[in-house]
């Protein structure tokens, strides 16, 4: 069992680094597109993992399936247009990037291994690619939970007429999140949603790859 856990960690290691790095980079890139250069000034407009990784968040994502990176600094006062909508777009960019990375991994699997049975083999390449898919989907779903400080709370605030309730929740956000994690409420919700998303993305990837297989 120990050797299996070590192997899984090694397979998931590149996935965790990629997932956290691209997640934060997406936040920074969208914020700059909206007019806020804060992330660039602080060196966060980069795909260098070292500027984004938080040691504890990195370790938790590797061993527990959820975690975090260093938050990208964003100043909505610099946004052009509606600041609340801007924050919603910046917040949504991270999870959407993770879903895009996961889809890319599934597309590579379907192109490289047209036999669907082979996609679920124990070959190292397959396991690494599945690690990329699973970690990115789990990170996306986890971050879309509408509890501060997760991205989902800012996405929800963008749809609300008043975001007062979100600001009130911020002082208790970490406590609520810890309770949800340790009571396995998040796990019982996250796993089914992530599984459905993976199946859906795999179906799209397989459909796209099918015409190119065997050429």
Catalytic residue positions? Answer: 24
Tokens in use for 109? Answer: 């699997």
What's the start-to-end Cα distance of the chain, in Å?
A: 41
For residues 128 and 196, give the distance between their C-alpha atoms in angstroms, rounded to a whole number: 20
Q: Is 127 helix (H, G, I), strand (E, B) or coil?
A: helix
Contact (CB, 8 A) for 49 and 103: no
Contact (CB, 8 A) for 119 and 110: yes
Q: What is the dihedral of CA 141, 143, 146, 151, to 10 degrees?
A: -140
For residues 129 and 18, give the distance between their C-alpha atoms in angstroms, rounded to a whole number: 12
For residues 47 and 38, give the distance between their C-alpha atoms in angstroms, rounded to a whole number: 16
Q: What is the number of alpha carbons within 13 Å of residue 123 lying toward its C-beta?
A: 11
């Amino acid at each position: 069992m120990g050797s299996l856990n070590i192997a899984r960690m090694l397979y998931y290691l590149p996935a965790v680094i990629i997932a956290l790095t691209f997640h934060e980079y997406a936040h920074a890139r969208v914020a700059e597109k909206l007019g806020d250069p804060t992330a660039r000034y602080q060196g966060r407009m980069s795909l260098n993992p070292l500027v984004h990784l938080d040691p504890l968040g990195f370790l938790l994502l590797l061993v527990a399936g959820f975690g975090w990176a260093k938050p990208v600094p964003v100043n909505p006062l610099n946004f052009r247009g509606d600041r609340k909508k801007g924050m919603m777009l910046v917040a949504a960019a991270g999870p959407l990037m993770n879903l895009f990375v996961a889809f890319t991994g599934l597309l590579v699997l379907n192109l490289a291994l047209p036999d669907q049975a082979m996609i679920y083999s124990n070959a190292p390449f397959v396991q690494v690619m599945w690690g990329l898919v699973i970690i990115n989907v789990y990170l996306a779903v986890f971050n879309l939970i509408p509890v501060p400080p997760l991205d989902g709370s800012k996405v929800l605030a963008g749809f609300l007429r008043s975001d007062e309730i979100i600001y009130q929740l911020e002082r208790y956000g970490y406590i609520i999140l810890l309770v949800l994690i340790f009571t396995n409420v998040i796990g019982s919700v996250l796993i089914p949603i992530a599984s459905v998303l993976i199946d859906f993305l795999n179906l799209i990837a397989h459909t796209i790859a099918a015409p190119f297989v065997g050429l």
